[in-house]
Amino acid sequence: MFAAAKCDVGKLRKTNQDSVYCSMEPVGDLPNLFIVADGMGGHLAGEHASSEAVQFFVQEVAEKSFKEDSIVKLLREGVESANRYVYKLSKQSSAWTGMGTTFVAAVIMEDTLFCVNVGDSRLYLVQADGQGGVGLKKLTIDHSVVEELVQKGEITEEEARVHPQKNVITRAVGIEEQVSVDAFEIPLTGILRVLLCSDGLSNMVEDTELLRLLGTTVPSSQDEIEGLAEQLIDRANGNGGYDNISVILIDLWKEGAQHA
């Protein structure tokens, strides 16, 4: 398994409010840990929210064991604790009022992927389709105004990409004292790659283009997966780079191909 994390300010923003965490080494009892957080708020508040949420979450899960409880429960409770922490911080300074952050985290253990998310940062799966081809699946569901409209059938996915409210999220870490966290636990059968990203990538690079980039090259080294992650950043910037861009790319091609 190879993994690469890249975070770029983009072409228009002056500050970077995204935070990423990528560890192939154990974090407490967890064998690995991958996080993307996209902060929001006033000047520097978004950067503070995302970095504080990530740091607190990592410390929280590192100090607890999942041996008696499930990994999903550990991750969900970690996000809930980080939410309370960021919410309390937001009350300590007027400069931090209303700050918050999206949050998507993943752990890969043996033959299972565990994921939690809040907001519109995403986790994608590149997976074998059983017929010799490769497909792209968005595992997480955006907590956003446009996603709710899509789910109701009021707008299409294509219309959502250009909707004037596409950046309005309905759930975030730190905005309220409590937060609802989505959680997923899925087998790795047929999964070739895992992509975590902020909307600075997903808004700038369409799914068809993501699949073209991720579904045709088979990395055989850490350098190659690093290069592929950099290509994603370059493509987002090439398409406008309107926002900060964060990418964590995890390559499971060999492992996934054995089960395809």
How many domains are contained in the chain? 1
Whether the predicted pLDDT of 61 surpasses 80: yes
Residue 200 domain boundaries: 2-257
pLDDT tier at 256, thresholds 50, 70, 90: very low
pLDDT digits 0-9 by tens, 155-195: 777 666 666 676 778 999 999 999 999 999 999 999 999 99
pLDDT digits 0-9 by tens, 79-120: 999 999 999 999 999 889 999 999 999 999 989 999 999 999
Model pLDDT, residue 260:
38
Q: What is the CATH number of the domain that holds 186?
A: 3.60.40.10
- Say what the pTM is: 0.92
pLDDT digits 0-9 by tens, 117-157: 999 999 999 998 877 788 999 999 999 887 777 777 767 77
> What is the chain written as a DSSP string?
-EEEEEEE-TTT-SS--EEEEEESS-BTTBS-EEEEEEEESSTTHHHHHHHHHHHHHHHHHHTS--SSS-HHHHHHHHHHHHHHHHHHHHTS-GGGTT-EE-EEEEEEETTEEEEEEESS-EEEEEEE-SSS-EEEEE-S---BHHHHHHHTTSS-HHHHHT-TTTT-BS--BTSSS----EEEEEE-TTEEEEEEE-HHHHTTS-HHHHHHHHTT----SHHHHHHHHHHHHHHHHHTT--S-EEEEEEE-HHHHHTT-
Model pLDDT, residue 164:
65
